[in-house]
Structure 1
């Protein structure tokens, strides 16, 4: 009799376990369909999962994401609310991202930022919350606050290329050294995508900014007024380094460098840039000086600027660049080994 009672007790538990396992199998199948762009079919599988296991968190989370992707915003919001209300003690990081992102798409920017802040209060180190909050702040034309969100995202996850991409874009018009550094870090992480090519071209343009050769072979050097040093030093002041980079760029037109490839000239300029950063670092403050600059100074100390440069130049598909990747694969790997294991401050 006791064995029968135990079996009766275990049956609901076993049934629940089997239902949850089957539900999550449906969700994983749905995720595969989502990745293929088959959103309607994915949603059907999420609904099947929820019938098997009511309010399954994984199913609700993926359903909310897919509803957001297919612009079914009102349903996405309700799905996120349901997930948060029914799973208050479980991991809801991605639910908060979907929830706030959906509100942004609905034009409810204040509510979106409120949800991001609620999520960050629970998960202060989740980079996707910081990054997506930054996107919403950009949409709200709150650029300085967005700048801080993207910085926080990189601190939480220094391997998140999209955050460095955003920082590069934000700085490119007014503070080119931080822009060069952010785009450079981006390309150390991602150098084979379409935006990698755009960012490679942006770095080249920024490093040669204001430097041109005239018809009489003289060099014109124009300094961006936004980079002129102020009496009171602000955070992330790179005015001295900016001037040094312009002078280094002018040497591209020197006769002694005429036979060098574009990548070799980049190496010369980047060496000068990093040397300047190393010399000036003790007097400076701010996110770029304290978080990003040490990475590049250490890169120079490890004698890794050469492979880094060829990584940056890969989107160019120049013959000399492709040859370096083929012949010096060990140097490329040495850079990635160092970069992947770099200890961020």
Structure 2
């Protein structure tokens, strides 16, 4: 049950595309090239291949390059009176060619190409875009728009600096985990990490060094997480780790939650070779976990923030409105605050 809840929670969080939009060559596909004197009837045979969306037409004895879309050829062969096929079957392809297609460079940005494509007239707006490389290629407008939307979704849910999920995406995922544990014996754990003295670090070493520290921390945080956990950047100098605990009693849950906190801190304790000890910061942490089968995301966040900002202690709390009486304190090395029930 614990593994199922963890997997579902991770797949139901807000997600964008797998990468940023990139350049148009990432989406380009090879395209069939024919001469302008090729009979239209032969063209119709080519389009029997369902994967063929367009054909590039190179003018025989000329310099023009055009395009024929499947939809355009179908419309031409139908004709206004239904006699298009009979009239055009033996005519040259040039008669049904669009000689003013949109042609782009392979390294043009998808964002600019998609914008230009959508600015075309209604009749040509959804035609493929030709990519002028050593060999002609084409990119569908649908693929361009999907890539652009995926990039926008990614940028709205991923921190551009650390590539971790943003605060809204992280809290959304936390809420999903809380929903999924309702009525089960599993629990949700939230660990907050705060980089101490970030402003002083920026003032002393510069923003470039400060940004490098945050990126390094994020990479090592993600790389050292146990299976089923996920991390996010929830503030300029604050990170969060989410986890779901399998069924266990209150004492074991307290120990497991704090073990996760200590494991995360241990992975971030030593400075990296690239960053150096002179700028490597200290981290404050707090951990909270829900009662079995009853978790509230807002309550978890509020309690974790309170503990992190109030005393600076790494202690943890069991959080849940329907919790039974909490057991006695179970403190490890460095814990100064006992477990307590909130609500």
Short-chain TM bin: under 0.3
Higher relative helix content: 1
Higher relative strand content: 2
Q: What is the TM-score when the length of structure 1 is the normalising length?
A: 0.24
